[in-house]
Amino acid sequence: MFQKIDGLFLVLPGVWVSSKETDEQEADLGIQTIKLAEEKGVKFILYSSVMASDKQDRFRPRFKFTIEKYLLQSRLDGAVIRPASFMENLLLPSFGLGDNKFINPLPEETAISWITTKDIGTFARIIFQNYKDFNGKTIDFGGELFAPKQVLKLLERKLDQPLEFVQVPLEILYQQSETFAKLVEMVATEGYDSIDIELISSWLPKLTSFEEWLDDTGIKKIRELQSSAKL
């Protein structure tokens, strides 16, 4: 492992029901991977974290921000990218689109940034090709801002059908995952920091819009989910 590898894109497995235990396991895995990369002579690591990982450190003291700090304080060259919400996440069963619903766990009135995984991959390639320019940097990476009801209207227009909007109460989120519920509260009260769009566009002038993703991929995938639910 890691023989003759100059660069590593560190993307850790997602956890959909988070807890203190899963956070700590993720932090341990990330740090162990960086240590091993250091031992094997990897020159540069790009770590894919999450938006507002530093703010989440208040209630998730050993999580993604722990990995960020370890990487940037290590002897390795490295950078951190903090992607916004994936548009592809809408295809997860928890959003209910296959059942003609839009189940929203996020604050109803708060607009957040969205990004495609394809754009994340493209920007990661740019970082590796110009790693000296990005060494030591932490970059919040996202595109258009949409509040949940705006996403709903866009989905209904593109699907040409109504969707049932279901707002998940905060108390239900606390029953499912305290850490996620605290994240939702943080987003509602503080929001995310502004994204440096000028920096991103200087390297990647065109990000995929929400409409483009729906037209190219999203609507087809959602219709497949709806068809599967009827079987």
Q: 148 in a domain, yes or no?
A: yes
Alpha-carbon span 6 to 148, nearest angstrom: 41
Q: Which domain holds residue 96?
A: 7-230
Question: Locate tokens 């990897």: which residue?
Answer: 42
pLDDT of residue 4: 80
Residue 50 in contact with residue 23, Cβ under 8 Å?
no
Structurally, how many domains does the chain consist of? 1
Q: 52 in a domain, yes or no?
A: yes
CA angle centred on 52, ends 77 and 111, rounded to 5°:
135
Give the residue from 120, 111, 207 showing the smallest Cα distance to 154: 111
Sign of the torsion formed by the C-alpha atoms of 17, 93, 168 and 87: positive
Question: Locate tokens 């209630």: which residue?
Answer: 59
**Which phi-psi region, left, alpha or beta, contains residue 84 (left: φ > 0; alpha: ψ -120 to 50)?**
beta
- Residue 47, classed as helix, strand or coil, is strand
Q: What is the chain's pLDDT, residue by residue, as a tens digit (231 residues)?
A: 656 889 999 999 988 889 999 999 999 999 999 999 999 999 999 999 999 999 999 999 999 999 999 999 999 999 999 999 999 999 999 999 999 999 999 998 899 999 999 999 999 999 999 999 999 999 999 999 999 999 999 999 999 999 999 999 999 999 999 999 999 999 999 999 999 999 999 999 999 999 999 999 999 999 999 999 877
Alpha-carbon span 161 to 98, nearest angstrom: 13
pLDDT of residue 230: 77
- CATH, residue 47: 3.40.50.720
Q: 1 in a domain, yes or no?
A: no
Q: 2 in a domain, yes or no?
A: no
